[in-house]
Amino acid sequence: MLSLNGLGKGEKLKLIEIFYIQKYLSKSHILVKMSRESWKSRWGFIMAATGSAIGLGNVWRFPYITYDSGGGAFFIPFLFALFTAGIPILIIELGIGGKTKRSPPLAFQKFFSKKKVGWVGWWAIIGAIFLASYYSVIIGWSISYIGLSPSLGWGKNPQSFFMNDFLGWTGNPLNLGGMNFGILAVLALTWVITGFIIIKGVTKGIEKCVKFVMPICWVLIMILIIRAVTLPGATDGLNWYLSPDFSKLSEGRVWINAYGQVFFSLSVGMGTMITYGSYMKGKGEIVNNSFIIAFADALFAFLSGLAVFGTLGFMASSIGVEITEVVQQGMELAFVTYPKAISMMPLGSGITGILFFSILLIAGLTSLISLVETASGSIMEAFNLSRKKATVIICLIDFGMGIIFATKGGFGWVNIIDLYVNYAGLIFIVLIEVILIGWIYNTKRLRIWVNYTSELTVGSWWDWSVKIFCPLFLIAGLAATIIDIIQSGYPKNNPYPNLAMIIGLTAFVVGMLIAYQLLQIQKVNTTMEKFED
């Protein structure tokens, strides 16, 4: 046993340095490094990251929240949340990924040089697996609706078609009512497509796919907007969407909505941006890229609002009712209201349906891919598995979990799980991240490094956001959500508040425990790994 006693300080340091050089230049280390893939081009990375960010949340959630939270006035809290929290956290996640070149659990360990911190990464992975399990179901529905579009297969009454004929909804999540094989089939198809793309790898699979489909998605939304605003009555809808009601800005709920929407939409808190950031070549322009991704995501959400509200305005004026009577959110907006509006169109209704559901499909699939890559990339690295094996494992777990959503009681389960994963889980993880970076790690050190990677730099406002703004708003948001859940069952008209709470809390605790377990059994430890620069 080597004793360092009796050596001078300089000599000790020298010895330690030699020890590390030897350790990290060992053969196995180089092998791991060489086998790690990276994006071929910056454009490919941006398409992948915007593909993850732009998702179902942009298409149906943003327009509704804007309308419900003060119309045009909502852009104030939204942009505020984007600058004070969304972009700073995106910089953190891309920064951690870019600096460590590791997937989330190992990235946290390496970044903070502490094994325990990897637990946060594993928890994020569990969140990603949960989100993917029902996100994939909704993508499956979109595939079915593309098929239904040409003949307007939802008929005259899309409400009853969606609930009864399509889902076979039993009206109660506890009554599973048997399997809905049609939905199971499209779910399986979604998983086969996703698995196939991810098995091909980061460049040959994901990058190739997003470089092809994301530009198409932008073109489709532009066409859809043109179609929508040229319909009679569209301007009424746009007025509702955009005319500002500044009085709403005094409601705390509106600000919390803005933060929730920004986090979900930017795909932070689930490890995805750490993963995608870790595949960047070299330094990776972290600040610049974060701004580009955030603006593209916000723009797409805004554009979706134009398409959705233009169409709703047309529909309201055709039936002769106020737009407030036709506005719906989330799944109902996409699968009930929108199809109904399409059926009323004088021209090209089938095509419009195909356009709309193709946008949902592309936006959703590219987000799903990012979630699955995050999970499979992590177990691949932490357990030394092949890409194929890791991907198949995650796809099977997620497909297995998704079976419950494909039953006739599944609609209720989608609603329950959505709520908890989305808000409680995601917000919690982001909160831990900002506390770790803001209060335990030296914020300024990370800022200096991300600035070094990028032409565009952030000033000390970023430190303040990470230290003060983000934790405060996150804690306020969490507190408000918890109070809401306890007082009234959340969301407001959730018919099964207690059930939702029990399931949600169970998922929450079980997720934490599994994450802890994964930390114990992971094979690779990156605590002492060296950074490249």
Tell me which residues touch ligand PHE (CB under 6 A).
52-53, 55-58, 264-265, 267, 270, 272, 367, 370-371
Q: Two tokens at 194?
A: 């996703």
Question: What share of residues in the chain are helix, strand, coil (percent, to 5)?
Answer: 80, 0, 20
Minimum Å distance from CB 132 to ligand PHE? 8
Shortest separation between residue 93's beta carbon and ligand PHE, angstroms? 11
**Which tokens hold the place of 303?**
């554009």
Query: For residues 314 and 230, is the Cβ–Cβ distance under 8 A?
Result: no
Q: How far is the CB of 435 from ligand PHE (least distance, A)?
A: 20
330 sits in which H/E element: helix 330-332
Nearer to ligand PHE, 234 or 427 (CB): 427
Instruction: For residue 529, give the DSSP letter.
Output: P
Minimum CB separation of residue 522 from ligand PHE in Å reads 22
- Measured CA to CA in angstroms, residue 40 lies from 1, 19, 282, 442 at distances of 47, 34, 11, 32
Task: Decide whether 129 or 485 has the Cβ nearer to ligand PHE.
Answer: 129
What is the length of the chain? 533
Q: What is the DSSP letter of 270?
A: S
Residue closer to ligand PHE by CB (options 313, 504) is 504
Q: Which helix (H) or strand (E) holds 43?
A: helix 42-53
Count of other CB atoms within 10 angstroms of residue 447: 23
Q: Pick between residue 58 and residue 454 the one whose CB is nearest to ligand PHE.
A: 58
* Shortest Å distance, C-beta 96 to ligand PHE: 15
How far CA 70 is from CA of 255, 319, 327, in Å, comes to 11, 25, 14
Distance, in Å, from the CA atom of 385 to the CA atom of 123, rounded to the nearest integer, reads 20
Among residues 45 and 264, whose Cβ is nearest to ligand PHE? 264
Full DSSP string of 88-147: HHHHHHHHHHHHH-S-HHHHHHHHHT-STTHHHHHHHHHHHHHHHHHHHHHHHHHHHHHH
Q: Which is nearer to ligand PHE, 369 or 437 (CB)?
A: 369
Nearest to ligand PHE of 161, 508 (CB atom):
508
**CB of residue 5 vs ligand PHE: minimum separation in angstroms?**
51
Structure tokens at 488: 């009234």
Q: Which long-range contacts (CB under 8 A, 24 or more apart) does 481-486 make?
A: 481/256, 481/423, 481/424, 481/427
Q: How far is the CB of 437 from ligand PHE (least distance, A)?
A: 19
Name 179's bridge partners.
407
CB 325, min distance to ligand PHE, A: 27
With respect to ligand PHE, which residue has the nearer C-beta, 103 or 407? 103
Nearer to ligand PHE, 314 or 428 (CB): 428
> Measured from the CB of residue 438, what is the shortest distance to ligand PHE in angstroms?
21
Tell me, what amino acid is at 39? W
Q: State the minimum distance, in angstroms, from the CB of residue 361 to ligand PHE.
A: 13
Nearest approach in angstroms of CB 113 to ligand PHE is 27
* Of 180 and 378, CB closest to ligand PHE: 378
Least Cα distance to 105 among 503, 500, 525, 533 occurs for 525
In terms of CB distance, is 234 or 307 closer to ligand PHE?
307
Of all residues in the shown chain, the one whose CB is closest to ligand PHE is: 55
> Could you tell me the sign of the dihedral formed by the alpha carbons of 518, 521, 527, 533, in that order?
negative
Rounded to an integer, what distance in angstroms lies between the CA atom of residue 279 and that of residue 97?
8
What burial class does residue 156 get, using C-beta atoms within 10 Å of its C-beta: 0-12 exposed, 13-18 middle, 19+ buried?
Answer: exposed
